[in-house]
Amino acid sequence: MRADVIRLYKTVHTWTGIVAGMALFIAFYAGALTVFKEPIARWVAAPSPGAAAVPLDEAPQLIARTLAAHPAAAKSFQIHLLETEHVPARMGWTERPQGGDDHDRSNDRHYLATLQADGAPLIEETKQSRVAEFIDVLHRVVGLPFDNDPSRWVMGVISALYAVALVSGVIVLLPTLVKDFFALRLGKNLKRMWLDAHNVIGIVSLPFHVIMALSAAVFAFHDGIYAVQDTVLYQGQWERLWSRTPPKGPPPPPRDVGTMLPPAELVARVQALSPTLVPVALDYVQPTTPRAAVRVWVRDATTIQRSVNGGFALLDPYTGQVRSTEYLPGRQTAADATIVSFFSLHFATFGGTPVQWMYFLLGLAGAFLFYSGNLLWVESRRKADRGRGAPVVQKRSTFLMAAATVGVCIGCVAGISATLAAGKWLHGRVDDLQAWHMGVYYAVFLGAVGWAFARGAARAAPALLWAAALCTAAIPLTTLAGWLLPGIGPWAHGSAAALGVDAVAMAGALGLAWMARATARRVRQGPVDSVWSLSAARGAEATSSGAPEIAQEPATGAAR
């Protein structure tokens, strides 16, 4: 391939990566954690009686008495079948504010209901932490503070740039692919080692990244895609085609929910369709109207599933008739399975726990890919100046890019860890726990970014890495405090899922501490013409204050 073509694609790869890299770091790091969204929710959930407080065979009485006392719940409610830490009661529902964004769930109010000893329903607003959903939102809107359509469009644009960076990166690497594919040259040339690691991770995980880039772009713009289809293919009749027209005349009287089939019977009818289905929940929709329906949510590790909640069959809650299986794992048509496969490949909802761990590691590797890409660009400025024979004096823009990379990436890691650990300490002490989760994350994140710009990358990076290590270590230390001192606030769950969160967090804290020590050593001992050197940082301060620049002599040998 011609050298000028390679240079062109290298330029495209560099600048698309620079523009999108830091946002993609947040998306991939938060996305890696979202793979284990349920264990995180279980770790942070406050102790409660849970679904076991009301046996499943008493659910019909619970439903009838709750809807009589609180009619607003009749719009939609759930009956939970699993008894885990993050399921606060057998029955729960969500009430959304009028006029809110269809995808923004930050202002939702969550309620639960159970039966008291005298059989009367006890209805209350739940105060459980929803930090797992908050981390998922960070993943979906690349760290922006608003979960709305414009934020998702930004994510879509970044995903498109991401796809361009993938294609151009492969083209750049093609001439040396065979020679460099398994090369990881360790030694004093740190830039070469980082480049080798960047290339190997990028090529090995290329199929994963292609799936993420294309599916994320579709998710970001799917409302617009549907709108175009409605106009071009359905002449504006989409909603009419997909909704059942209510009967004419006066509205019928409300249906008697006491005549619905018991939840256990509905579950049995779905389980009869496949022996591998594991029921999770029943989602009732408008049960008092002629359009009453119930989604029986199930999981099946032997096949693909549409979401992390699994898939569902749509039934009539009064007759038990199965209306639809288009989202039921293992019972879909070829067309439905094809569509669901895109969701499944993005959310890792196939293959069970081994695939989840694979996606978790690929997500972390992806975050490293974008972080290392920015660091390589920063280092390449030094090599470019040296190649022109000019004194190597780092430009102000290089210092700013280094500071932004350190502040955004490490600040994201520290902020997520801090807000997760804070979930147990704040529970019962604040009214709006969700707002506090956002506040803690953005305070830590913005503080890290500000610190990086104020101190410069060389001075800020070791301190920020130590801060991220401490915030991450706070997760298992909070659990330890719950075991040893249960009266001070936090609690500890003994389930494998919750303890797994502590184990992974401790491993992450140790890794961040190792990185902090290595970075501090690099700052002290690295080449003086590098942006990661304290000498270079002092030179940048002198330049910004108006003092004359002192050019560093080019170092001999290969760039390090």
Domains in the chain: boundaries:
47-126, 397-546
118 with 323: CB under 8 angstroms? no
The pTM assigned to this predicted structure is 0.84
What is the C-alpha separation between 340 and 310, in angstroms, rounded? 11
- pLDDT of amino acid 186: 56
Q: 473: which 2 tokens?
A: 């270590």
CB 80 within 8 A of CB 51: yes
DSSP string, 145-184: S--SHHHHHHHHHHHHHHHHHHHHHHHHHGGGHHHHTT--
Q: Is the pLDDT of residue 13 over 70?
A: no
pLDDT score recorded for residue 147: 84
Which strands form 322-327's sheet, in the order they lie side by side? Answer: 121-125, 109-115, 91-95, 76-80, 278-285, 293-299, 311-315, 322-327
Helix ranges, 427-456 (H): 433-455
Q: Which pLDDT band, with edges at 50, 70 and 90, does 229 fall under?
A: low
User: Who has greater pLDDT, 78 or 552?
Assistant: 78
Tens digits of residue pLDDT in 113-124: 999 988 899 998
Which of 14-18, 184-188, 258-262, 324-328 is the least confident region? 184-188
Q: How far apart are CA 95 and CA 86, in angstroms?
A: 19
Q: List Cβ neighbours of 231 (8 Å cut-off, separation of 6 or more).
A: none
Sign of the CA dihedral 336, 339, 344, 347?
Answer: negative
Residue 313 pairs in a beta bridge with 296
The answer to whether 273 and 325 are in contact (CB under 8 A) is yes
Tokens describing residue 319: 């007759």
Mean pLDDT of the residues in the chain: 82
Strand pairing category for 76-80 and 91-95: antiparallel
Of 169-173, 181-185, 360-364, minimum mean pLDDT range: 181-185
Question: Does residue 559 surpass a pLDDT of 50?
Answer: no
Dihedral angle, C-alpha 111, 45, 361, 411, nearest 10 °: 90
Q: Is the pLDDT of residue 445 over 50?
A: yes
Q: Which two tokens stand for residue 118?
A: 């005298």
Give the pLDDT mean for 235-259: 66
- Inter-helix orientation angle 353-387/3-34, to 10°: 140
Residue of higher predicted confidence among 202 and 523: 523
